[in-house]
C-alpha cells in the first residue's frame, strides 16, 4: 500500500503558488533598490498651507471669484494681508465613491503643488474643487489648467 504524506515536503512548499509570491518579495529587482536611487534627488517642493475648517471653505465660496476649467473649479480670493498662500481641496460625492474622490483630490493636490512651487502668491487664497473628469484628465492638461486659472485670477 502506497500513501502520500499529508504535509508537503519543504522543497515542494517552496514551489507552491502561495509561497512563491511571498518569497519573491524578499528579492527586489535592482531598479527598485536604494542603490538605484542613490544619485537622484527630488526637489524640495513643500505644499502650501491648507484650509482645515468648513467655515473657511464657506467663506471662500461666498466671496471668492470662481474660475471653471476642464477638470476643476478654482475659487480665487486675494486678501489685503501679505499672508502666505493658502489652499483648499474638495471633492463632492457627485464624483463617485471614496476611491474616485480621493484619487481626484490627490491628483489635484499634486498638480497644484507643482504649479504653485516657486511662485510668489502671498496674500492669495485658493480652493480647488474636483470635477468628474479630474481623475481621468491627463496630468499635463490638469497642470496647464491650473496655470491658466491662476493667470486669469491674477488679472
Q: What is the pLDDT of residue 44?
A: 55
- What pLDDT score does 52 carry? 85
- How far apart are alpha carbons 155 and 147 in whole angstroms? 13
What tens digit of pLDDT does each residue of 46-100 get?
A: 677 788 898 888 888 888 889 999 999 999 888 877 888 889 999 999 999 999 9
- Give pLDDT tens digits for 93-137: 999 999 999 999 999 999 999 998 878 888 888 999 999 999 899
pLDDT tens string 14-35: 555 555 555 555 555 555 555 5
Side by side, the strands of the sheet bearing 72-78 are 49-50, 86-90, 124-130, 72-78, 65-69
Amino acid at each position: 500500500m502506497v500513501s502520500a504524506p499529508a504535509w508537503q515536503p519543504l522543497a515542494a512548499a517552496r514551489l507552491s503558488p502561495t509561497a512563491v509570491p511571498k518569497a519573491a518579495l524578499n528579492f527586489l529587482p535592482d531598479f527598485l533598490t536604494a542603490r538605484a536611487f542613490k544619485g537622484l534627488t527630488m526637489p524640495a517642493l513643500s505644499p502650501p498651507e491648507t484650509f482645515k475648517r468648513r467655515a473657511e471653505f464657506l467663506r471662500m465660496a461666498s466671496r471668492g471669484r470662481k474660475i471653471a476649467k476642464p477638470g476643476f473649479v478654482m475659487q480665487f480670493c486675494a486678501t489685503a494681508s501679505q499672508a502666505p498662500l493658502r489652499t483648499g481641496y474638495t471633492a463632492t460625492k457627485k464624483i463617485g465613491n471614496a476611491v474616485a474622490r480621493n484619487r481626484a483630490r490627490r491628483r489635484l493636490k499634486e498638480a497644484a503643488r507643482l504649479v504653485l512651487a516657486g511662485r510668489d502668491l502671498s496674500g492669495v487664497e485658493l480652493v480647488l474643487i474636483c470635477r468628474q473628469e479630474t481623475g481621468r484628465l491627463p496630468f499635463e492638461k490638469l497642470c496647464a489648467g491650473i496655470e491658466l486659472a491662476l493667470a486669469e485670477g491674477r488679472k
